Copies of this chain bind each other. A is one copy, B any other.
Amino acid sequence: MGEFDLIDRFFTRSPRPGGRTVLGVGDDCALLQPAAGMQLAISSDMLVEGRHFLSTVDPARLGHKALAVNLSDLAACGATPVAFTLALALPGADETWLAPFSQGLLALADAHGCELIGGDTTRGPLNICITVFGEVPVVEGHSQALLRSGARPGDDLYVSGSLGDARLALEVFRGRIRLPDEVFEAARARLEQPTPRVALGQALRGVASAAADISDGLLGDLGHILRRSGVGARIDTEAALALLASRPWPADAAGGFDAEQALACVLAGGDDYELVFTAPPEARSAVHQASRQAGTPVSRIGRIETDPGLRLIDRDGRVRSEGYRSFDHFA
């Protein structure tokens, strides 16, 4: 199967009526007609075997994840997904891999009305590079995009959904811990098939003061918000620990897994694809309304402060002496 057969067979679809795509796969370029007054939000992510996914992963889940991590970037900006390109390096044209991969990819694309408009295929070590396009309204000259730079001292600090479970699953794959089957399967789905918080991101436009998606771990990605906003933050570690969905632990987790390691998974596990965001205290009811509207739970886990840096507060209200660097380097 040659490059063009492969594109025809697995990745070519007609432009969706009423969509923004004027011309899709099959010419030198795709043509996109942005709606009047809209800005285009653009993000690109590259997934490499062994680094972003295990070679044994279900190709359908991998197709889902490859697009999900990009949609998560759009979610962090509050953008509405429009379209994406797919560049794919493959060791060979294996139909038993390509069919489920494209199925998983396009199912998530369809769920978000995000059209595959072009890309590239080549032979090479497995590499998946997706560039995604979303729209953000501009109201009276002001972009409604959520940025990393808008956090202000006194703002509440929130996280969507749950954190740390993807890392728990990874630690099981690495043979470092064991989990009961049903707990592992749920955690594994979080690792292999993350849910981008697209609806929440859109609902937070005009509500959140800053936002980022959590791909490298909460501490790292919150760190981007803090640096670009010129502020610091405190995190309530008890509230953070409650973000781990996997239960029960550590009772059934073998290999010396304890509350500290669970906290490390939450704070620096990575691969969560949740949103971390800030909003002023007077926006609390608006935040909860956005959460309900999107069907995505959010938790308040701390607040933004003037002092630079990040402080972890224990259950007694004390700043933990070891700081957060030990967690930041968990990986």
Q: Residues of A at under 8 Å CB distance from B?
A: 22-23, 26-34, 36, 39-46, 48-52, 73-74, 76-77, 79, 85-89, 117-120, 122-125, 127, 129, 131, 133-134, 136, 138, 143, 145, 147-149, 211-213, 228
* Chain B, Cβ-Cβ closest to A138: B33
Shortest distance between the CB of A234 and any CB in chain B (Å): 23
In the complex, besides A26-B148, A29-B134, 16 extra interface pairs with C-beta distance below 8 angstroms are A27-B147, A30-B41, A31-B39, A32-B41, A42-B133, A44-B86, A44-B118, A45-B120, A46-B87, A48-B124, A49-B124, A51-B123, A124-B125, A124-B127, A125-B125, A127-B129
Q: Is the CB of A31 within 8 A of B143?
A: yes
Q: Is the CB of B31 within 8 A of A85?
A: no
Please, could you name 8 A-B residue pairs with CB atoms under 8 Å apart, sorted by A? A22-B39, A29-B41, A29-B43, A31-B39, A31-B136, A31-B145, A34-B34, A46-B122
Q: Is the CB of B43 within 8 A of A87?
A: no
Q: Is the CB of A43 within 8 A of B127?
A: no
Query: Provided the pairs A28-B76, A28-B213 are in contact, do residues A46 and B120 lie with their beta carbons within 8 angstroms?
Result: yes
Q: Is the CB of B87 within 8 A of A124?
A: no
Residues of B contacting A34 in the complex (Cβ-Cβ under 8 angstroms): 34, 40
Q: Is the CB of B122 within 8 A of A125?
A: no
Shortest distance between the CB of A284 and any CB in chain B (Å): 24
Q: Is the CB of B32 within 8 A of A39?
A: yes
Residues of B contacting A77 in the complex (Cβ-Cβ under 8 angstroms): 27-29, 31
Q: Is the CB of A129 within 8 A of B46?
A: yes
* Chain B, Cβ-Cβ closest to A4: B224
